[in-house]
Amino acid sequence: MLRTPRFFIGVDGGGTGCRARLVDRDGRILAEGRGGPANLTLGLEPATAALAAAVGDAFAAAGLGPADRADTDAAFGLAGVEASGTAAALAAHAFGLGRLAVVSDAETACLGAHAGRDGAILILGTGSQGYARRGAARIRVGGWGFAISDGGSGAVLGQRAVRRALAAHEGLAPASALTAAVMQPHADAAALCAWSLGARPADYGALAPLVFAHAEAGDRVALALRDEAVAEVEALVGVLAGQAEAPVALVGGLAAVYRPLLGPQLAPILALPAGDAMDGALMLARRA
Amino acid sequence: MLRTPRFFIGVDGGGTGCRARLVDRDGRILAEGRGGPANLTLGLEPATAALAAAVGDAFAAAGLGPADRADTDAAFGLAGVEASGTAAALAAHAFGLGRLAVVSDAETACLGAHAGRDGAILILGTGSQGYARRGAARIRVGGWGFAISDGGSGAVLGQRAVRRALAAHEGLAPASALTAAVMQPHADAAALCAWSLGARPADYGALAPLVFAHAEAGDRVALALRDEAVAEVEALVGVLAGQAEAPVALVGGLAAVYRPLLGPQLAPILALPAGDAMDGALMLARRA
């Protein structure tokens, strides 16, 4: 006889933080919780601590105790699941939960965006990745890191803006309001160089809004950078829709920025996401 | 009364290895020696060991002993002098030498290329850097690292080739013989991604000859990558010549590749190097 738990919790864990959504058997949202970065490539221990914080946060906010936790099925969608190979080490009992499923954050985002049906997503944030569910098949396009992939991502766009700003600063390329704004926090080329040695993808990605704002204002350098990024996003959407034979939902922090910039020919293959990655994790928790 | 030493030794030390040239008072070359990487940012101890090996190698090959060493003035031109700040810790007595001057490898390369006169160089190898000597002034353009600078360098060109090859592999951009050749050693995108996580500038730079060879054969992707790199080199030459008010000598492993590709308008401001970085170091040793 199947046991039906009283509660379900769905977690979305990425490199900047993790969020947990706790619902009852009828799908009513009881509470949400937050924790620190839970990308498994950052290490199993910090990820476990961040996940425990987000889960604990949600149960505390809902006023539920240990017995309720044990009567909760869970699913975690986490960044770095494939790359780290450590997902199997995350056990339900370590969190005081009933059952636990751990999958990639792309899987839960795709489940959530298409309400559990087949479909494709293009994640556009600090990184970028195309992902699709088509029956038992999983399709992946892009997302191989900002050094060689991640077209349209904030990190790639931001790094190009820095390169372009430094070139302008040295007289190697035309300057603009954008190139001045990117150089502004740095005393000179040597200071920018020192900054770049410690810069992570999120540091470059933090410059993406500056590029979009200057493009909006007509800055030529920003427009050129934006055009290049938009072309990369369009290529990703096209390949993804073709391979998945399904509509593509744009998700992530830059999704709303890119949506109005994409060519009208893509309108028929774009879909609005039905839900978020925590919704997707909750679907998975119910199936577990 | 000035002491005039009997011998002089000039050393060129970079990230891939170091070379020493030993000459007598009349400038006759007695021997050369080699050692491992002597970039000071790799650490003072390994650099010292590599330099000692190259210097010892040269004296051994010339059949000279400790008394001859002590009667030798030296200059080292080393990569990473500014970034490491450790050049002052290199002392002549540690190498059994008379006097020792330590400067950047760009300074010795520029001295050598222009036989000690004012002038500019553009170093084109794994990295790239423009450098000029104009009286007491030193001018620097580019060379701030392959993540944000180093236009025309092998590392920047090679990394773009990898990005372009992966995009072609995923159907995001047209494929060509070059993109196939770059992907060929890697089983799939995931394998290339794993490789990229450990790839250093020299690993990307190792792909530059492949790009130039395919461009020569008419490969469209290679030609586009080459055109972009040539434009970067042309911009560097133009800015450098303007700031230095002097001719620019192309030096480094890719200098001969770029020379015939540059626009004819640059011919009047390009100069052939008169000598190499060891020649430049020897000039400095004589002045010490």
Taken in order B229, B232, B236, B237, the sign of the CA dihedral is positive
Work out the minimum CA distance from B205 to partner chain A, whole angstroms: 14
Q: DSSP character for B58?
A: H
- 3-state SS assignment for residue A202: helix
Identify residues of B whose CB sits under 8 angstroms from chain A CBs: 141-142, 144-145, 147-149, 151, 159, 162-163, 166-167, 170-173, 189-190, 192-193, 196-197, 199, 232, 235-236, 239, 242-243
Least confident window among A76-85, B49-58, B182-191: A76-85
**pLDDT tens digits for range B87-99:** 888 988 889 999 9
β-partners of residue A107 are none
Q: Specify the amino acid at residue B68.
A: D
pLDDT band at B187 (very low <50, low <70, confident <90, very high): very high
Output the pLDDT for position A117: 94
| Degrees to nearest 5, angle at CA B129 with B125 and B131 | 130
Give the full edge-to-edge strand order of the sheet including B270-271.
Answer: B137-141, B128-134, B119-124, B248-251, B270-271
Residues in chain A: 288
Searching chain B, which residue's CA lies closest to the CA of residue A167? B149
The CA distances from residue B78 to A94, B101, B155, B255, in Å, are 54, 11, 20, 20
Contacts of B163 in chain A (CB under 8 A): 147-149
pLDDT tens, A256-268?
A: 999 999 999 999 9
Distance CA A55, CA A30 (A): 12
Count of H helices and E strands in chain A? 12, 10
Alpha-carbon dihedral A156, B131, A221, A206, rounded to 10 degrees: 40
Predicted pLDDT of residue A92: 86
Residue B94, pLDDT score:
87
Mean pLDDT of B16-22: 93
Strand order in the sheet with A18-24: A29-35, A18-24, A7-13, A72-78, A100-104
> Cβ contact (<8 Å) for B148 and A159?
yes
CB contact under 8 A, B148 and A141: no
Per-residue pLDDT reduced to its tens digit, B92-146: 888 999 999 999 999 999 999 999 999 999 999 989 999 999 999 999 999 999 9
Which sign, positive or negative, has the C-alpha torsion B253, B257, B260, B262?
A: negative
- What is the side-by-side order of every strand in the sheet holding A119-124? A137-141, A128-134, A119-124, A248-251, A270-271
- Nearest by CB to B159, from A147, A193, A239: name it: A147
Are A148 and B170 a contacting pair at CB < 8 A?
Answer: no
The three-state secondary structure class of A269 is helix
In this complex, do B193 and A144 lie within 8 Å of one another by their Cβ atoms?
yes
For residues A137-143, give the mean pLDDT. 95
> Half-sphere exposure of residue A94, counting CA atoms within 13 Å on the CB side?
14
pLDDT in tens, A25-76: 999 999 999 999 898 887 899 999 999 999 999 999 999 999 999 999 999 9
* Optimal mutation site among B170, B193, B230, B233, interface A, most CBs of chain A within 10 A: B170
Residue A78 makes CB contacts below 8 A (sequence gap 6+) with: A11, A13, A14, A18, A38, A39, A40, A47, A51, A87, A102, A103, A104, A105
Mean pLDDT of B141-169: 96
Which pLDDT does position A136 carry in this prediction?
95
Identify the pLDDT of residue B142.
96
Q: Beta partners for B100? A: B74
- Domain B154-271 belongs in CATH node 3.30.420.40: yes
Mean of the per-residue pLDDT values of chain B: 94
Query: Which chain B residue's Cα is nearest to A158?
Result: B148
**Residue A2 pLDDT more than 80?**
no
The contacts of residue A195 (CB under 8 Å, 6+ apart) are A186
Residue of chain B whose Cα is closest to the Cα of A198: B147
- Please name every residue paired with A120 in a beta bridge, in sequence order, or none if there are none: A132, A248
B188-246 confidence digits (pLDDT tens): 999 999 999 899 898 999 999 999 999 999 999 999 999 999 999 999 999 999 999 99
- List phi, psi (to 5°) of A132: -140, 150
Interchain pair B239, A151: CB under 8 A: no
Token digits of residue B259: 């020379």
Neighbouring CB atoms inside 10 A of A39's CB total 22
User: The tokens of A166 are what?
Assistant: 């430094």
Is residue B214 within 8 Å of residue B177, measured between CB atoms? yes
Best of B172, B192, B236 to disrupt the A interface by mutation (most A CBs within 10 Å)? Answer: B172
pLDDT for B222:
98
pLDDT mean over B28-36:
97
Two tokens, residue B263 = 């626009």
Beta-bridge mates of residue A13: A18, A78
Distance, CA of B154 to CA of A199 (rounded, Å): 22
pLDDT tens for A71-129 read 999 999 998 888 778 888 898 888 999 999 999 999 999 999 999 999 999 999 989 99
The yes-or-no verdict on residue B59 having pLDDT over 90 is yes
pLDDT in tens, A165-205: 999 999 999 999 999 999 999 999 999 999 998 998 989 99
- Residue B151 — very low, low, confident or very high, per pLDDT cuts 50/70/90? very high
Residue with tokens 């920003």: A222
Res. B39 pLDDT band, cuts 50 70 90: confident
The amino acid present at B4, given as its one-letter code, is T
Mutant choice from B148, B156, B183 vs A, greatest count of A C-beta within 10 A? B148
Assess if CATH 3.30.420.40 describes domain B7-114+274-287.
Answer: yes
Is the pLDDT at B2 greater than 70? The verdict is no
Cα–Cα dist A169/A172, whole Å? 8
Residue of chain A nearest B158, judged by CA positions? A148
Element (H, E) at A120: strand A119-124
pLDDT, mean of residues B273-287: 96
What's the burial of B256, exposed, middle or buried (CB within 10 Å: 0-12/13-18/19+)? exposed
Using a pLDDT cut of 70, give the percent of chain A over it.
99
Which of B24, B57, B1, B17 lies closest to B282 in space, CA to CA? B24
* DSSP calls for A5-55: -SEEEEEEE-SS-EEEEEEETT--EEEEEEES---GGG-HHHHHHHHHHHH
For CATH 3.30.420.40, list the domain ranges present in chain A: 7-114+274-287, 154-270
Look at strands A72-78 and A100-104 and give their pairing: parallel
Where in the sequence of chain B do the CATH 3.30.420.40 domains occur?
7-114+274-287, 154-271
Please tell me the CATH superfamily of domain A154-270, with its number.
ATPase, nucleotide binding domain (3.30.420.40)
Q: Nearest by CB to B148, which of A145, A147, A166?
A: A166
Contact B78, B50 (CB under 8 A): no
Handedness of CA A208, A212, A217, A218 (dihedral sign): positive
Residue A253: pLDDT over 80? yes
Instruction: Please give the backbone phi and psi of residue B9, each rounded to the nearest 5 degrees, phi first.
Output: -135, 130
User: For A80-86, which contacts have Cβ atoms below 8 Å and span 24 or more sequence positions?
Assistant: A80/A39, A80/A40, A80/A41, A80/A42, A80/A47, A81/A40, A81/A105, A83/A40, A83/A41, A84/A40, A84/A41, A84/A44, A86/A40, A86/A44
Position B1 scores a pLDDT of: 46
- Contact at 8 Å (CB) between B67 and B26? no
What the block records as the tokens of A12 is 């979305």
pLDDT of A1 > 50? The answer is no
Q: Check CB contact under 8 Å for B196 and A144.
A: yes
